[in-house]
């Protein structure tokens, strides 16, 4: 299986650890390639109302990733944009869209991982990013009367020693919203504050998410106010032990 690793632009720039953890996780299932010519998914432009300005980014994406069996990124948000708008904005994308996946989908739906060898003995609240939750249906939304499986919960439950914390509001937006975070800083920061307080009051030590963009926004507030809670990407938790004991990784790869 040839897996193309797509690292969102801001993750590349600011959160290399998320990229490393994702790479380590994916290497269990096949040959992982990271094309160095990749740039961005084009979502910032599209959500700002300039979707055509993002077409060049999609062209680069297509060229870099078209030959992989799967294209995986540690970001529901970027993947959702490509899947929802990629085909309309750049028709050549259409045949590869079904191969473009968020890390959670790849682990849960494709390789059906049920024996993650990871350990993270902490109290963790999952921040359900809106694009993952309502865009990709990675879990149950509080608005809908359905029984969607919460894929991230199922994966994280496999992590040894972890305690999942349930906040008061299970799935409210953090207020990042791309350019919203700078065009409406008052409301955006207020929303972020409210989310963080909810997680702190529920007793979480860590806020995790499949989307680093939400966490970047929340961490910005946490750092400024010096709050007693940390953010960590879901990939880092799912790979928590692997990075410390590479031997175990090899064994697991052999087992698979």
Q: What is the footprint of other proteins within residues 188-247 (CB under 8 A)?
A: 188-192, 194, 216-217, 219-221, 223-224
Collapsing DSSP to helix, strand or coil, 76 comes out as helix
Q: Does 36 bind other proteins (CB under 8 A)?
A: yes
Dist. CA 101–CA 182, nearest whole Å: 28
List Cα–Cα distances, 37 to 40, 65, 88, 160, in angstroms.
10, 10, 23, 37
Long-range interactions of 85-91: CB distance < 8 A, separation 24+: 85/46, 85/51, 86/58, 86/61, 89/42, 89/46, 89/51, 89/52, 89/54, 89/55, 89/58, 90/55, 90/58, 90/59, 90/62
Task: Using CB under 8 A, pick the residue from 25, 32, 76, 118 that binds other proteins.
Answer: 32
- Which residue bears the tokens 């259409």? 94
**Cβ 98 to other proteins shortest distance, Å:** 20
- Helix segments in the chain, DSSP class H: 9-14, 16-26, 43-47, 55-65, 76-89, 103-105, 130, 151-156, 180-183, 185-201, 212-225, 234-238, 246-255
Task: Using CB under 8 A, pick the residue from 25, 57, 124, 156 that binds other proteins.
Answer: 57
**Cβ 94 to other proteins shortest distance, Å:** 19
User: What contacts 166, CB < 8 A, 6 or more positions away?
Assistant: 125, 202
The stretch near other proteins (CB under 8 A) out of 97-105, 110-118, 144-152, 233-241 is 144-152
- Decide: 181 and 220 in contact? Cβ < 8 Å: no
Total residues contacting other proteins (rule CB under 8 A)? 80
Nearer to other proteins, 27 or 119 (CB): 27
Q: Does 154 bind other proteins (CB under 8 A)?
A: no
Q: Does 141 bind other proteins (CB under 8 A)?
A: yes
Nearer to other proteins, 132 or 162 (CB): 132
Task: Using CB under 8 A, pick the residue from 19, 86, 139, 167 that binds other proteins.
Answer: 19
Task: Using CB under 8 A, pick the residue from 14, 121, 148, 248 that binds other proteins.
Answer: 14
Nearer to other proteins, 162 or 174 (CB): 174
**Cβ 146 to other proteins shortest distance, Å:** 6
Task: Using CB under 8 A, pick the residue from 25, 46, 100, 238 that binds other proteins.
Answer: 46
- Which residue bears the tokens 């994308």? 93
Task: Using CB under 8 A, pick the residue from 4, 25, 29, 38 that binds other proteins.
Answer: 38
**Phi and psi angles of residue 48, each rounded to the nearest 5 degrees, phi first:** -85, 0
**Cβ 144 to other proteins shortest distance, Å:** 5
Question: Mask: binding to other proteins, 94-133, rule CB under 8 A, as x and -?
Answer: ------------------------------------xx--
């Amino acid at each position: 299986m040839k897996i193309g690793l797509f690292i969102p632009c801001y993750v590349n720039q600011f959160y290399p650890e998320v990229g490393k953890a994702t790479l380590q996780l994916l290497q269990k299932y096949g040959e992982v390639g990271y094309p160095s010519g990749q740039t961005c998914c084009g979502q910032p432009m599209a959500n700002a109302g300039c979707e055509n300005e993002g077409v060049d980014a999609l062209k680069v994406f297509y060229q870099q990733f078209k030959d992989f069996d799967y294209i995986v990124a540690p970001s529901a948000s970027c993947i959702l944009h490509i899947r929802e708008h990629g085909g309309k904005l750049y028709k050549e994308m259409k045949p590869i869209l079904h191969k473009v996946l968020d890390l959670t989908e790849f682990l849960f739906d494709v390789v059906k991982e049920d024996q993650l060898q990871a350990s993270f003995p902490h109290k963790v609240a999952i921040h359900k990013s809106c694009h993952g939750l309502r865009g990709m249906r990675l879990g149950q939304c509080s608005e809908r009367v359905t029984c969607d499986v919460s894929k991230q919960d199922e994966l994280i439950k496999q992590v040894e020693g972890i305690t999942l914390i349930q906040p008061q509001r299970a799935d409210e937006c953090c207020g990042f919203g791309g350019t919203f975070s700078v065009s409406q800083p008052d409301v955006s920061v207020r929303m972020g504050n409210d989310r963080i307080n909810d997680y702190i009051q529920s007793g979480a030590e860590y806020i995790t998410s499949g989307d680093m963009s939400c966490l970047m926004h929340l961490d910005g507030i946490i750092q400024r106010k010096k709050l007693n809670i940390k953010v960590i990407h879901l990939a880092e938790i799912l790979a928590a032990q692997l990075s410390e004991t590479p031997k175990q990784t090899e064994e697991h790869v052999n087992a698979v």
